[in-house]
């Protein structure tokens, strides 16, 4: 089943190229193109030469890149490669790479095409500078030639990975002792060289023949232990390198491998991660990124947070992930998403929760915020509001019916009753008073404000902190409880926001 609709939203190849125009522009495609009975020009993707020529022509037309490949080397399919680059851009929006003059990246196993570094440099208008590493000697020479052919030697440094070495990143980074890199990327060989087959195991016997020609040499397709062992080694080395690389990323070819890698990260106590899917044509790949930077919250990465298209399973119009969400306003309640944001900020700032915008533009229908709190300020808000309403002479009692509850202390109020607090309350009080490290919050969470046809939705996702995942449910409930505007209370335009945000006080 075609999964182009699940491709990254910025990927230009969501719409298939107009082959009729492309053949006119690049006549060499006539050798591999055919015209069907309706007059449409089509290419046979099972023909290796057709795939090779198409990639070369699209790279030249859309990116101004000239690419040559030796025989029997992996031909890069552009939609897949561009999905990876766009995902790295999304990660960069959270890591604030836009504020950096130069972004430094490493491509592990650049291959003969050196396609990822070339695309990264051109797509970023040469703001991204890449170190491309490759072990196979013939692929290394081809990669260097492609960089020189496109006059990008100043942005791409092609390095040989030691054939006798047993490391992936450790030895390479010894050549850059004083440098820190913003990211590394990897498209590892999918298959285990000890296995007899170069395709996923077909349990049903009904797997269709691949729609694209199989290209690539043995060393490009296979490695000892397959992709799981290869990526697991990157994880082990990242535990030594830590923040020498800000974000470690990799593509994964098989869903079973993806699940094993997530377990490996969990076993290594690496929890600052984000995941994605790369969908194109009839192919789906998976991706994982992790970081040891406490200030870089990877769960905030767009298209990985809530209902982004990369989180929707092909064939299922359903989001994955576990954020808690609800509709907070009807479409008629607010005049804009900015009004919703102001209202939410008012409520969060009232309970001393710090908020930082991560993704926001003036025309967006989605705003992503980072929340951080140093203690629990959101629990038992009803009890606190009622206690605050008690007059000094005690005429208005906290239970609202003119009588004092048994737990009421006439001198100090209900907060100082001799009655032993419930275990749940006691735990809140203890945990909220724990001393928090300067770089570690009691709670860090992502908040997504999203506009849909029927209203404005909030989604909260736990990122880190001692408060645990239950805290995001409590904060969402706090916001729902304190925003109780009804249509009769709402005025038009800017007045909507004011009424909605004051009605619950």
The strand ranges marked E within 111-244 are 128-134, 156-160, 181-186, 191-192, 222-223
* Burial class of 137 by CB neighbour count within 10 A (0 to 12, 13 to 18, 19+): exposed
Q: Which residues contact 59 (CB under 8 A, 6 or more apart)?
A: 65, 66, 67, 78
Cα(198)–Cα(218) distance, integer angstroms: 9
Cα(32)–Cα(34) distance, integer angstroms: 7
Binding-site annotation, residues = 81, 109, 134, 187
Cα(130)–Cα(155) distance, integer angstroms: 6
Binding-site annotation, residues for S-adenosyl-L-methionine = 81, 109, 134, 187
Structure tokens at 307: 């209902």
Cα(250)–Cα(286) distance, integer angstroms: 9
Residue 423: CA count within 13 A, CB half-sphere: 0
Residue 19: helix, strand or coil by DSSP? helix
Structure tokens at 495: 């007045």
Place of tokens 């070819």: 253
Structure tokens at 417: 């009753």
Residue-wise burial string across 115-124, b where 16 or more C-beta atoms lie within 10 A, e elsewhere = bbbbbbbbbb
Q: Which residues contact 327 (CB under 8 A, 6 or more apart)?
A: 454, 455, 456, 457
Distance (Å) of CA 503 to CA 325, 393, 457, 497: 22, 28, 19, 10
Taking residue 373's Cβ as centre, other Cβ atoms within 10 Å add up to 23
Cα(323)–Cα(483) distance, integer angstroms: 20
């Amino acid at each position: 089943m075609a999964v182009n609709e699940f491709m990254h939203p910025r990927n230009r190849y969501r719409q298939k190229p107009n082959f009729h125009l492309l053949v006119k522009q690049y006549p060499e495609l006539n050798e591999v193109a055919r015209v069907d009975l309706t007059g449409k020009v089509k290419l046979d993707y099972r023909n290796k030469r057709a795939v090779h020529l198409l990639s070369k022509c699209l790279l030249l037309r859309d990116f101004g890149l000239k690419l040559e490949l030796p025989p029997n080397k992996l031909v890069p399919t552009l939609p897949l490669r561009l999905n990876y680059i766009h995902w790295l851009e999304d990660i960069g929006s959270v890591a604030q790479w836009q504020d950096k003059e130069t972004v430094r990246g490493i491509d592990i196993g650049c291959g003969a095409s050196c396609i990822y570094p070339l695309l990264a440099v051109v797509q970023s208008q040469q703001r991204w500078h890449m170190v491309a590493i490759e072990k196979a000697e013939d692929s290394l020479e081809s990669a260097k030639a492609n960089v020189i052919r496109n006059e990008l030697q100043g942005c791409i440094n092609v390095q040989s990975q030691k054939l006798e070495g047993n490391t992936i990143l450790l030895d390479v980074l010894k050549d850059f002792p004083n440098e820190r890199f913003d990211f590394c990327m990897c498209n590892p060989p999918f298959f285990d060289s000890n296995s007899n087959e170069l395709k996923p195991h077909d349990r049903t016997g009904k797997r269709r023949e691949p729609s694209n020609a199989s290209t690539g040499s043995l060393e490009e397709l296979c490695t000892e232990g397959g992709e799981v062992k290869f990526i697991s080694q990157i994880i082990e080395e990242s535990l030594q390198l830590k923040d020498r690389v800000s974000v470690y990323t990799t593509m994964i070819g098989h869903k079973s491998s993806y699940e094993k890698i997530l377990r490996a990260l969990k076993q290594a106590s690496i929890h600052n991660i984000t995941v994605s899917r790369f969908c194109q044509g009839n192919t789906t790949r998976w991706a994982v990124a992790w970081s040891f930077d406490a200030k870089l919250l990877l769960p905030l990465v767009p298209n990985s947070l809530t209902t982004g298209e990369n989180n929707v399973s092909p064939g299922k119009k359903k989001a994955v992930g576990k954020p808690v969400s609800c509709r907070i306003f009807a479409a008629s309640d607010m005049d804009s998403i900015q009004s919703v944001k102001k209202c939410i900020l008012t409520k969060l700032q009232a309970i001393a929760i710090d908020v930082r915008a991560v993704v926001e533009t003036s025309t967006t229908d989605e705003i992503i915020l980072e929340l951080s709190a140093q203690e629990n300020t959101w629990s038992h808000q009803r009890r606190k509001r009622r206690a605050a309403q008690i007059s000094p002479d005690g005429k208005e009692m906290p239970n609202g019916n003119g009588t004092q509850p048994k737990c009421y202390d006439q001198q100090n109020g209900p907060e100082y009753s001799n009655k032993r607090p419930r275990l749940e309350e006691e735990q809140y009080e203890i945990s909220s008073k724990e001393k928090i490290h300067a770089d570690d919050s009691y709670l860090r969470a992502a908040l997504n404000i999203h506009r849909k046809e029927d209203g404005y939705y909030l989604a909260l996702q736990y990122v880190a902190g001692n408060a645990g995942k239950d805290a995001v449910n409590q904060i969402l409930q706090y916001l729902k409880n304190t925003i109780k505007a009804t249509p009769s209370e709402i005025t038009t335009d800017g007045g909507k926001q004011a009424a909605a945000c004051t009605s619950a006080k």
